[in-house]
Amino acid sequence: MKVFVFCVISLYCVLHSNGNDVHDTHVASLYHNQAVKTRQGKPSFHLRPPNNWMNDPNGPVYYKGFYHLFYQYNPKGSVFNIKMSWGHSVSHDLINWIHLNKALVPTEPFDIKGCWSGSVTILPGNKPVVLYTGINSQNQQVQNLAIPKNLSDPFLKEWVKYVGNPLITPPKGVKGDNFRDPSTAWKGKDGNWRVVVGGLRNNLGVAILYRSKDFVNWILHDDPLYFGVDTGVWECPDFYPVSTNSRSGLDNSANGKNQKYVGKASFRGHDYYTLGSYDPFKEKLIPDGKGLTGSSSDLRYDYGIFYASKTFFDSVKKRRILWGWIPESDSSSDDVKKGWAGIQSIPRQVYLSDTRRQLVQWPVAEIEKLRLNHVSFYDKKLKGKSLFEVTGVTASQVDIQLSFNLPKIEEVEALDPKWDDPQTLCTTKPANYSGRVGPFGLLVMASQDLTEQTAVFFRLFKDNRQFVVLMCSDQSRSSVMQGIDKTTYGAFINMDHEDEMISLRSLVDHSVVESFGADGRACITARVYPQFHENKEAHIYVFNNGSRDVVIKTLDTWSVKMGRGAITD
């Protein structure tokens, strides 16, 4: 049945394609003429349009048998353009995607200068609606409504903009260019809808709250739902409940005792979130801790190159799924040569950790359908300052999972109180720095002679009688080419008392490396562009640069094939 459904979608796309849309029939031949470098660096199982610029994920939703993901899209080139459209892709399983016509394009006075980010909310009767930011003819950011032209169409190909747009204009204290990205709405016990819009108000980064009875007429609440001091303008706010006793997701409008709330905002190039409780009478998110400050101690979805994320509740499998935009880290001129820029992360399931102090993220189970050529081994001792190669898989397109036994706490060096910023620590003590326990982990997208390599690794410390794990993604030697951002990223992971192992999973897809530490308690995404990949194969190594031996408890590796519907070169 799945193969039949896929063929029907493919046939539909071919019959309805035209020269102005993202599924142009000339794309395949265009890519065949590109340089080898372009082909080698292009991800194969991450979602991206066939060409041109992509950024923020917009309005993920499940409707009539299909997952939909909209996204910011420039149909005229592979660099950012303020006059954005909504690209649109659909899937029956989150890994096989078909690119449809653009869903929203700038056409009206209320969005003539760009259709910017927004969300999809399902109204009673299974009716999806879009709230999105439009840049109007006066260069103001205003919030608009669009509805499907045909609710019986499972592909939601056509959308109609509401004639009464804009629904919401910048409130007092908010400049016209600091008011954007409406969230998915939720319904309170009083039957009224709520939505938040990101902005900067009186020098506070804010999630500005509005209420409505009919989803058309919106009333401003005096105070923001949550805010941050000295953070700058907030983008892409998100607000949703998570269960405290289950990994199952919750609908945005769920009300219950066994749940916490997540408040997220994108600013300063990162996606920060806080956990807390929601007071529906005061319309406030009350953080468990200090809230969102933009400091290195704030909780983040991802500590690497990952931004403008969006979640949605998968009503079929009862889970909450997260997507984030992964930008390029090469130059704009490189992107012009490639003809494309930007991808979406692997969709991740999100749930509350057992400690209830943070979220956990893990790639959706569907990605495992793409696995091939399983290689595994167990209980292998890795001596200090040694490495070995993992063979039998396609190293440039791979899913690799391994776990290490934790040593005795007495063997681990103490954490210096001055080491309070994990990114700085990873940068000053990179993969080739020798500690007592670590660095140990993976070298991916590596040349055979290791001249180019991306290291994803752990170092272990102790803080009193507790393990502290430093997780790093070291891009400092990822490429010998110039003009590429080779920032090294890092995160601290607090281990539980009962933990006996530390795990690492990395999904490598040519130029993107998504890594998940300690079963998803910390995530780091990187973009890498090694020069050797123009005409040579990549390699994978497991290494230990620490002075103490470590034991690899398990290692499982699979080649990852391209999902159906992906554009091939």
Q: How many residues does the chain have?
A: 569
| Pair of tokens at residue 494 | 């607090």
d(CA 428, CA 416): 14
Residue 137 near residue 109, CB atoms below 8 Å: yes
User: Residue 554 has which token pair?
Assistant: 């398990």
DSSP letter for 531, please: G
Catalytic site residue 56? yes
Please identify which of the residues 56, 181, 238, 509 carries the catalytic annotation. 56
Q: Any residues with CB less than 8 A from the CB of 154 and at least 6 apart, and which?
A: 63, 64, 65, 66
Helix/strand/coil for 284: strand
**Rounded CA separation 20/32 (Å):** 20
Look up residue 66 and give its two tokens: 């299909």
Q: Which two tokens stand for residue 254?
A: 């769920």
Task: For residues 389 and 115, give the distance between their C-alpha atoms in angstroms, rounded to a whole number.
Answer: 48
What is the spatial distance between Cα 239 and Cα 285, in angstroms, rounded to a whole number?
Answer: 9
Which of 478, 473, 472 minimizes the C-alpha distance to 511? 478
Query: 192, 180 in Cβ contact below 8 A?
Result: no
β-partners of residue 273 are 264, 299
Query: Which of 432, 453, 405, 443 lies closest to 552, judged by CA?
Result: 405
Q: What residues have CB less than 8 Å from 299, skipping those under 6 apart?
A: 272, 273, 274, 275, 358, 359
Nearest to 491 by CA among 463, 464, 457: 457
State whether residue 334 is helix, strand or coil.
helix
Residue 439, token pair as written in the block: 């660095």
- Nearest-CA neighbor of 195 among 89, 479, 55, 187? 187
For residues 57 and 310, is the Cβ–Cβ distance under 8 A?
A: yes
Q: What are phi and psi of 490, to 5 degrees?
A: -155, 155
Q: Which three-class secondary structure state does DSSP give residue 140?
A: coil
Which residues are identified as catalytic? 56
